[in-house]
Amino acid sequence: MVNTEALIRALPKVEQHVHIVGSTRPETLLWLVDDGEAEKPFETVADVRRFFQYRNFSHFIEVYMTVFRCITREDQFQRLTYELLEDDARCNVKFVEASFSAPDHVREGLDYGLMLDAINRGVANARRDFGIHCNLRIDLVRNYGPDFGMQVLDWIENKGDNIVSIDIGGSEEKFPPKPYARIYERAREMGLHLVAHAGEAAGPQSVRDAIDYLHVERIGHGVTASQDPHLVDYILRRNIAIEMCPTSNLRTGVVPCLEKHPIRAFFDKGIKVTVNTDDPSMFNTDMNNEYIQLHKRLNFTVSELFQLTLNALDTSFLPKAQKARIDKAFKEEYKDIITVLCNHND
Ligand SMILES: [Zn+2]
């Protein structure tokens, strides 16, 4: 019998939606509090795991804020980024677009340029050690308002090493997309790609507004778009990709169970959906688990899961020629995996 889980683990993967802070391993969180001057809300890995249980979405944001405040020095980002990529590489992820919420840390007194350098050292070391590639996207963090977002674009203009896109994360309900229209327009003129978190903590209007006012190429989450069939058609027509994060949505209560997650319906409809971890450590997941859960709970076949990989590559912000090269390599790797595993079982 073919071992389907082994097959799924072996699939090449691409991750589009993962936050650096949310990837902090429990052990590394303990190191951060020892290493810096942060207050110590936990003593052991078991404490951290208990701390990473959420009553709802706003409770998750509260916990996330505590974690980001544990980062007290710029150079700590090197280890966080390296470990994020090490964990992804273990799941055979070949390419990552990692999200850095720079404004959170600058407001706590850290230096943007030094943090970016530390992150890019982590990226370079992971590439050397695991062969994994990583670009960055900057989360403007919508809670600080559009004027602050404009400042963040100034930082990127002055120093944009390895940054390919912007995003707005944070409190979606209180900070709708429309006031960010000018910022997204300027970001586009700067040659940056455009993504927004939408349809996670707010309803379908948030998704529609991100498309109409911000002209995003991809939506982060997009779960609540499923409540509006016209919007689903609109997303398909406009060829907008959706970065879905099933385990994240389960843990924060956005969906009651994985069986009710709209990723299956969106995929069947032909929308370019991808699967991602969001905050792997804080949600106790990784890319292998996301793929395996889709197989177990939503009946994704191995070839459908491989299609999610191809979707993620196709809608990534890599140059066209590079995408075509990787697409070819992925398809060859896929053929080899199938052949080896099936021969093994003859
Ligand atoms: Zn996210």
Looking at residue 249, its amino acid is: N
Integer angstrom CA distances of residue 44 from 23, 29, 65: 17, 10, 19
Backbone angles phi, psi at 128, to 5 degrees: -65, -45
Q: pTM score, two decimals?
A: 0.96
CA of 197 to the centre of ligand 1 (A): 7
- The whole-number pLDDT of residue 38 equals 59
Active site residues: 200
- The whole-number pLDDT of residue 35 equals 76
In a 13 Å sphere around the CA of 85, the CA atoms on its Cβ side amount to 29
CA of 243 to the centre of ligand 1 (A): 9
Q: Which domains, from first to last, does the chain contain?
A: 12-344 (3.20.20.140)
DSSP string, 105-162: HHTTT--HHHHHHHHHHHHHHHHHHH--EEEEEEE--GGG-HHHHHHHHHHHHH--TT
- How many C-beta atoms surround the C-beta of residue 52 within 10 A? 21
CA of 167 to the centre of ligand 1 (A): 9
Is the distance from CB of 72 to CB of 37 less than 8 angstroms?
yes
Q: What is the DSSP letter of 278?
A: B
Joined tokens for residue 195 = 């993504």
CA of 267 to the centre of ligand 1 (A): 20
CA of 251 to the centre of ligand 1 (A): 13
C-alpha torsion angle, residues 291, 247, 327, 88 (rounded to 10): -90
Which positions ≥6 away from 335 have C-beta within 8 Å?
A: none
- The whole-number pLDDT of residue 343 equals 73
- How many C-beta atoms surround the C-beta of residue 237 within 10 A? 8
d(CA 92, CA 115): 27
| Dihedral (CA of 225, 227, 233, 234) sign | negative
CA of 344 to the centre of ligand 1 (A): 39
Q: Is 91 helix (H, G, I), strand (E, B) or coil?
A: coil
- How many C-beta atoms surround the C-beta of residue 69 within 10 A? 18
CA of 278 to the centre of ligand 1 (A): 5
d(CA 301, CA 336): 17
CA of 269 to the centre of ligand 1 (A): 24
Q: Is 32 helix (H, G, I), strand (E, B) or coil?
A: helix
* Mean pLDDT of successive 10-residue stretches along the chain, which has 346 residues: 88 98 95 76 88 87 90 96 98 98 96 98 98 98 95 98 96 93 98 97 96 98 98 98 97 95 98 98 96 98 97 98 97 92 64
